[in-house]
Structure 1
Amino acid sequence: MRLHVADHPLIAHKLTILRDKKTPSATFRQLVDELVTLLAYEATRHVSVTDVAISTPVAPTVGRKMAEPRPIVVPVLRAGLGMLEGMTRLLPTAEVGFLGMKRDEDTLQVETYANRLPDDLTDRECFVLDPMLATGHTMVAAVDYLFQRGARDVTCVCLLAAPEGLAELEKFVGDRADVTVVVAAVDERLNEKSYIVPGLGDAGDRLYGIVD
């Protein structure tokens, strides 16, 4: 498993505003969109391309275009949906699938309640979107689901990660699969409620305006 922390002044600036509990939902959504586009640039650094012959107004040349099969972007519902537009802005030809997963707050076990993905993902490059990599249980379930269906490699795009979540995912992946995690920051730890510290709270609630 590879970890890439996108260390950029614009990312740090936007993340700081996201963390602030006074930031309203409308601003939060806009910043998530902008942040994901910046993270998508790093996440797609090694996306598969193929050579293509074209003619410019001046001369023939050889360029590159996205290779087949097309990559697939997989937001984990519900919070991952707020990251979708930022990702597809850089991958407009990608296919989009959805995984609905929720964590039982008592047992921390992950339940899948929705699946809108092809049954066969053989040789596909997959980009999983989930704002928070906290315990790692949801991401492990999503990655396992994709590789069981033949995905070639998986890139997990998250705003924040906790060391515990990264360790859980790395333990699951081992040397068996090609997985990359791209994040804006790795935070200190999880608290007793499995929230990332200092974190930014519940990303889904803040995206959609449901707050305490």
Structure 2
Amino acid sequence: MVVHTIGANNSLFNQFIAEIRNIDIQKDSLRFRRNLERVGEIFAYEISKTLEFSEKSIQTPLGESLIHLPQSEVVVTSIMRAGLPLHTGLLNYFDGAENAFISAYRKYTDDGEFKINFEYISSPSIEGKVVILADPMLATGSSMELAYKALLSKGTPKHVHVVSVIASEKGVEFVKNNLPKKNTTLWMGAIDQKLNSKSYIVPGCGDAGDLAFGAKLG
């Protein structure tokens, strides 16, 4: 399974990651959402290079132009609610893609432990299609595995691109061990070493859903 870490190479992408992490800039929810959207656009551009292309003839006012255009059928999939701004960025570039949404969240017990609950999926058929499965934070990897398994009820994808802005080393290893090694590619913005006692990524950026859309109860 190939893992691409976009932030490992110097580019403007790192400026967006820095702002996503920055505790002062995070106070502006609009800015936080926009930065997630912008990194989604960069992920989309990089993923597009891996798709199948075919030559098309385009008629211009002055003649004919032959150009290679993507021919893969793409389904952009996000884990709600934190994944919505990232989804928007991906969709800005894959503007002809189909869309899927999955509701998965941490349900905590009184002793502070949690399990991942799956509630809902809205998806077209993914049979033989390229699926982009996005969640801003890849902490333990359990939500990503659950989302992947939920998608399989809609068909067998041709290829799955897992996209996360910030991941933990543990989460990356979990996904590598629990998703098919063939026809799966991981696209990470940055990979951090640690998870704290509540399984949040350290240094990470905090709760992406709360930062994007406001704090929730319970």
Structure 2 residue 98 is matched with structure 1 residue 95: yes
Instruction: Give the equivalent residue in structure 2 for 1:172.
Output: 178
Unpaired runs of at least 5, structure 2: none
Instruction: Give the equivalent residue in structure 1 for 2:58.
Output: 54
Q: 1:48 is matched by which residue type in structure 2?
A: E
Q: Is the Cα–Cα contact under 8 Å of residues 161 and 187 in structure 2 kept in the other structure?
A: yes
Q: Is the Cα–Cα contact under 8 Å of residues 34 and 85 in structure 2 kept in the other structure?
A: no
Q: Is the Cα–Cα contact under 8 Å of residues 40 and 157 in structure 1 kept in the other structure?
A: no
Structure 2 residue 158 is matched with structure 1 residue 152: yes
Distance 1:167 1:126 in 2: 20
TM-score relative to the length of structure 2: 0.88
Q: Deviations over 1:116-153 (max 9, x none)?
A: 012x3211100111000100001111223334521111
- Please report the RMSD computed on the Cα atoms of aligned residues, expressed in angstroms: 2.0
SS at match of 2:120: strand
Aligned length in residues:
209
Structure 2 residue 20 is matched with structure 1 residue 14: no
Instruction: Give the equivalent residue in structure 1 for 2:5.
Output: 5
SS at match of 2:24: coil
Q: Is the Cα–Cα contact under 8 Å of residues 131 and 160 in structure 2 kept in the other structure?
A: yes
Distance 1:12 1:183 in 2: 12
SS at match of 2:108: coil
Give the alignment of 1:130-149 within 5 angstroms. 130-147=135-152, 149=155
Query: CA distance change for structure 1 residues 8 and 142 in 2, over 3 Å: closer, same or farther?
Result: farther
TM-score relative to the length of structure 1: 0.90
Query: CA distance change for structure 1 residues 163 and 67 in 2, over 3 Å: closer, same or farther?
Result: same
Give the alignment of 1:67-146 within 5 angstroms. 67=71, 70-106=73-109, 107-118=113-124, 120-146=125-151
Distance 2:114 2:160 in 1: 23
Q: Is the Cα–Cα contact under 8 Å of residues 2 and 180 in structure 1 kept in the other structure?
A: yes
Instruction: Give the equivalent residue in structure 2 for 1:162.
Output: 168
Offset at 1:180?
Answer: 1.0
Q: Which runs of 4+ in 1 moved over 6 A?
A: none
The percent identity for this pair of structures is: 27
Q: 1:77 is matched by which residue type in structure 2?
A: M
Q: Is the Cα–Cα contact under 8 Å of residues 42 and 182 in structure 1 kept in the other structure?
A: no
Distance 2:18 2:24 in 1: 11
Distance 1:61 1:36 in 2: 30
Query: CA distance change for structure 1 residues 169 and 108 in 2, over 3 Å: closer, same or farther?
Result: farther
Distance 1:45 1:157 in 2: 15
